[in-house]
Amino acid sequence: MKLYYLLIFFAISQIANSQPKVPQDYFENPLDVPLVLSGTFGELRSNHFHSGLDIKTQQREGLEVKSAAPGHVSRIKIQHYGYGKALYIQHPNGYTTVYGHLQSFSPEIEAFVKKQQYINESYEIELFPEAGELQVESGELVAYSGNTGGSGGPHLHFEIRDGSQRPMNPKLFGIEIQDSRKPLIKGLFAYPMDEDSHVNHSAERQKIRLIPLKDGTYTTEKLNACGKIGFGISTVDQQDMASNQNGVYKIEANLNGDNVFQLNFDRFSFSETRHLNQLIDYEYYTNNRSRVQKLFVEESNPLSLYEDVQSEGRLDIQDSLDYNYTIKVTDFAGNESVIRVPIQGEFTESIQPKKLEETEYFVQADQSFSTEQNGIDVYIPKGSLYQDKYLDISFNGDIVNLHRDDTPIHQNITIGFDVSKYEPAEKEKMFIAKLGYGDRPSYSSTYKKGDRFTTGIRTFGKYTLASDNNAPWISPVNFSDGQWISNNSTLKVKISDDLSGIQSYRATVNGKFILMEYEYKDNMLTHDFSDGAVTETENNFKLIVTDNVGNTNTYEAKFFRK
């Protein structure tokens, strides 16, 4: 009996030790509304893990955002994409909190930002205020919630970072979210991993049927297997008061009672976040839009989220032996979902070997590779691929077909085009495009040096040269030429570009720069008259918009205000 309690105590203290020690109740809810999440920490996203909490703002913008603790504003970043308008507050205990997709800042911070935007004559800006400049109290209004940047609906993105700017799970700090529901298991997969290993007499990935039991756990039919195998799971968590499918907190696996795998979403570094592409079955995700997390570790995956992994999480199934493999998925509130997988070791000879496509281009992940044809060159630096792989590369006139988009790329591959056969006037309007669905061209950042155009890519696919001969389109929204607009609080103009995309915009009134905020999601430029930049009665408004190949459109109009 004593031993039993000792073991329990040991188990509990181990759980406690595995979480980083952090202050509890130091950070407050940055909003006045109850915490309901549309995104959790570590949630699997495109090419990255989500680095904070996405807090729902009742489908609206403009909620007051408060500093989660005392500190000073250490960084302000405004960008068209990404976090949109973002505020960073450094706290005296070494942590930093981040507030993203904001609509605007508190009056004091807003004035500080606008002053710099007018000096720099730019909406996009990054500022690092000194420690004494913008001091804030805990619970002090610092901003208003919004939907700026790469945001799919009004919410507050909230992060807590450690002293090395590594994002941490905010829930570790005692921030509680109501959650009484267990993680949802959406799919289970088994992977034969050696040449002679199999699952249910197949060398290919197998989808395993889940059988729900009365006690709320799952089991499966007994698998026949042999050799090195691994598992993968598709799972999400749902919390109370929202239907959003969020990320889980912890995934563990054991074999016959011994832990073989554990993944915890406590903390990670931005430098490792793209290795998510090796944690998930990327090929399955690209083709089925569902993220299967592998419960085994690819050799080259340095993720710090793994803990307590034995033999990379791979199982070595021997002939005529029985195994019990158990997967446990836990959310932060401690709700668990359990799957028990009985496995029967069974050697079989005639297994159809795994389909392996061989091409003339074998690329080793730890070596660089290059090839060239038709005046198109491809350079794959070492570390671009996660694994050695046969790549399917073909050239057809001005088009290069670079493998398939279901193979992930870790760092930029360079494609170069020789454009010497084109006239200077043509070259000016040309750019490198990715051909998407239905061969629709989309702009790939193109660097032009003499007769060579280059671009860096991080998805495989079809690339070619395209031309954009049309200037951006400009259309006033809430005024017209010659109008009196004394009652307008803003000046709004829509801009768009059909092919290469908007590169820059610049607005002036009577020759003087005025700030216009660009919201790409609704193609809108907005000037706020409360900036005080427009002071005359008669105003000559001029807007110049340039696309990525340099086509320019200028719009001019006169308006009056009193």
List residues binding Zn ion (CB under 5 A): 54, 157
Asked if 155 and 101 touch (Cβ cutoff 8 Å), the reply is yes
Which residue, 54 or 179, has its beta carbon nearer to Zn ion?
A: 54
Asked if 509 and 531 touch (Cβ cutoff 8 Å), the reply is no
CB of 147 to Zn ion, least distance (A): 12
Residue type, 389: K
Which residue, 273 or 444, has its beta carbon nearer to Zn ion?
A: 273
Report the distance separating Cα 368 and Cα 370, nearest Å: 7
CB of 52 to Zn ion, least distance (A): 5
Report the distance separating Cα 452 and Cα 420, nearest Å: 8
Nearest one of 178, 183, 156, 158 to 168, comparing CA atoms = 158
CB of 77 to Zn ion, least distance (A): 15
Which residue, 270 or 484, has its beta carbon nearer to Zn ion?
A: 270
| Long-range contacts formed by 311-314: CB under 8 A, 24+ apart | 311/260, 313/230, 313/253, 313/260, 313/261, 314/193, 314/228, 314/229, 314/230
425: tokens are 């006037």
Which residue, 83 or 443, has its beta carbon nearer to Zn ion?
A: 83
Asked if 73 and 127 touch (Cβ cutoff 8 Å), the reply is no
Instruction: Tell me which DSSP letter residue 284 carries.
Output: H
CB of 273 to Zn ion, least distance (A): 13
CB of 117 to Zn ion, least distance (A): 24
Which residue, 246 or 446, has its beta carbon nearer to Zn ion?
A: 246
Q: Which residues pair with 126 in a beta bridge?
A: 77
Which residue, 160 or 343, has its beta carbon nearer to Zn ion?
A: 160
Report the distance separating Cα 296 and Cα 49, nearest Å: 18
Report the distance separating Cα 156 and Cα 61, nearest Å: 9
SS3 sequence, 133-198? CCEECCCCEEEEEECCCCCCCCEEEEEEECCCCCEECHHHHCCCCCCCCCCEEEEEEEEECCCCCE
Asked if 89 and 96 touch (Cβ cutoff 8 Å), the reply is yes
The single residue listed with the structure tokens 């490792």 is 272
CB of 266 to Zn ion, least distance (A): 18
Report the distance separating Cα 56 and Cα 34, nearest Å: 9
Which residue, 170 or 232, has its beta carbon nearer to Zn ion?
A: 170
Which residue, 77 or 157, has its beta carbon nearer to Zn ion?
A: 157
Residue type, 550: G
Q: Within 10 A of 510 (CB to CB), how many other CB atoms are there? A: 13
438: tokens are 């239905």
Name residues whose C-beta falls within 8 Å of residue 352's C-beta, 6 or more positions apart in sequence: 202, 203
Alpha carbon 86 to its chain centroid, in Å, reads 16
Which residue, 87 or 433, has its beta carbon nearer to Zn ion?
A: 87
CB of 53 to Zn ion, least distance (A): 7
Which residue, 53 or 378, has its beta carbon nearer to Zn ion?
A: 53
Which residue, 157 or 182, has its beta carbon nearer to Zn ion?
A: 157
Buried residues in 535-546 as b, exposed as e (16+ CB within 10 A): eeeebebebbbb
Asked if 268 and 261 touch (Cβ cutoff 8 Å), the reply is no
CA-atom Rg of the chain in angstroms? 28
CB of 153 to Zn ion, least distance (A): 11
Which residue, 157 or 198, has its beta carbon nearer to Zn ion?
A: 157
Measure the CA angle with vertex 258, ends 253 and 264; round to 5°: 40
Residue, CB closest to Zn ion: 157
Report the distance separating Cα 337 and Cα 352, nearest Å: 34
CB of 83 to Zn ion, least distance (A): 8
CB of 447 to Zn ion, least distance (A): 31
CB of 44 to Zn ion, least distance (A): 13
CB of 175 to Zn ion, least distance (A): 15
